[in-house]
Amino acid sequence: MTRCDVAVVGAGPAGLFAAVYAGMRGLSVAVVDALPEPGGQITALYPEKLIRDVAGFPAVKGRDLVRGLVEQLDQFSPRMLLGHRATALDDLADGGLRLGFDDGTALEAGAVVVTGGIGTFSPRKLPCGEEFLGRGLTYFVRDPAELAGRRVLVVGGGDSALDWAETLQHTADVTLVHRRDTFRAHQHTVGQVLSGPATVLTNATVDRLHGENRVTRAVLRDTVSGETTEVACDHVVAALGFVANPGPLLQWGLATHDRKIVVDAALRTSRLGVFAAGDICTYDGRVPLIAVGFGEAATAVNHAAVHLDPAASTFPGHSTDGPAPAARPLRVPA
């Protein structure tokens, strides 16, 4: 059994920054995530992708953003419970909360900040060629350098597909295939791909993959005429999006809407002592951006600090006023 002031459920960007802010408030903090590494969706899906909408960075790789957040957090000596899937949330007699994990262990906290993002996620599968998974077919790109000089077929028309096409076209021979003639991705990225060296094939789907030990060619079908053509390729990146599952979070008695946790202006949920921030939460007018999640994380923790100590102020003071405070004794409310 472990005990802390604030338990943060979710180690994505919003969760890591929430833990940072708990440390800045002098609160002991534990960070819980089912994944074995911090970073959430960034680490799992696009560690090498450039992120362009984080304040202060013209562009920053996902991996570098996570590394910076972890380094920022390390100064507060958090308890990192990675590889722990939170399955239950119960009230304690002293006003605190108990998080139960799938391995039978538990964590007690005075307040909980849920930053679970989209929950667990799995890629939308390419309708064909699953037998080549790991042998030329992938759903995520862990290291773009491994594809340098290769003939890469990128499948999809959303942000992920266009981001990877734009990133890889500078070092690889890229062909982008999309089943429509319009794209769902950010228009700036679409323009970079269309004006770059990548070959773009619209109104086309992947009908079959062929090869011996690895993929060597793909059969494409024109969605208008039905005609097929073959394209040589060494690697297929099926960036078709993913299916999200919030999992046990929706069974914790929290008010939800459209599979998101409903919060008020203070990021409070419908359960006392439980707050939520990042893409797992919803309120009127919310915009699903990392930058927004950072602000929500700080707001949630500052209100959690008042929940733990009603005499405290939601305003933490300016970070430039002095050194970060040392961790204070537990403030689990009575």
On whether 76 is known to bind a ligand per the annotation, the reply is no
User: For residue 279, what are the contacts with CB-CB under 8 A and spacing of at least 6?
Assistant: 14, 117, 118, 260, 288, 293
Share of the chain above pLDDT 70, in %: 93
pLDDT score, position 208 = 96
Segment 287-307 mean pLDDT: 96
Q: Is 33 annotated as a binding residue?
A: yes
Give the pLDDT of residue 11: 94
Position 333 pLDDT exceeds 50? no
Reply yes or no on whether the pLDDT at 315 is more than 80. Answer: yes
pLDDT given at position 322: 58
- pLDDT for 121: 65
pLDDT for residue 247: 73
- The predicted structure's pLDDT at residue 328: 47
Residue 221 CA to residue 228 CA, distance in Å, equals: 4
- Residues β-bridged to residue 123: 242
pLDDT at 36: 81
Query: In this structure, which amino acid lies at residue 246?
Result: P
Q: What percentage of the chain has pLDDT greater than the value 90? A: 73
169 assigned ligand-binding residue = no
Residue 182 pLDDT > 90, yes or no? yes
Q: Which CATH class is domain 125-238?
A: alpha beta
**Parts of the chain belonging to CATH 3.50.50.60:** 2-121+242-321, 125-238
The answer to whether the annotation marks 94 as part of a ligand binding site is no
Question: pLDDT (tens digit, 9 = 90+) per residue, 241-271?
Answer: 877 667 788 889 999 999 899 999 999 999 9
CB 233 within 8 A of CB 151: yes
327 pLDDT higher than 50: no
pLDDT of residue 43: 78
pLDDT band at 186 (very low <50, low <70, confident <90, very high): confident
Cα of 215 vs its chain's centroid, Å: 30
Q: How far is CA 270 from CA 91, 253, 301, in A?
A: 13, 8, 16
Average pLDDT over all residues of the chain: 90
When mean pLDDT is compared across 172-176, 226-230, 327-331, the lowest value belongs to 327-331
Q: Is the pTM of this model over 0.85?
A: no
The Cα–Cα gap between 104 and 13 comes to 27
159 annotated ligand-binding residue: no
What CATH number was assigned to the domain covering residues 2-121+242-321?
A: 3.50.50.60
Please report the pLDDT score of residue 120 as a whole number. 64
Checking if the pLDDT of 123 tops 90, the result is no
Q: Is 234 annotated as a binding residue?
A: no
| Dihedral Cα 20, 22, 23, 28, nearest 10 deg | -130
Predicted local distance difference test score (pLDDT) of residue 334: 39
> What digits encode the pLDDT tens for the residues 52-74?
889 999 999 888 999 999 999 99
pLDDT band at 119 (very low <50, low <70, confident <90, very high): low
Ligand-binding site membership of 41 (annotated): yes
Round to whole Å and give the CA distance between 141 and 87. 30
Q: Is the pLDDT higher at 141 or at 275?
A: 275
> What residue spans of the chain are helical by DSSP H?
13-24, 40-45, 62-74, 159-168, 187-194, 290-308
Q: What is the pLDDT of residue 243?
A: 72
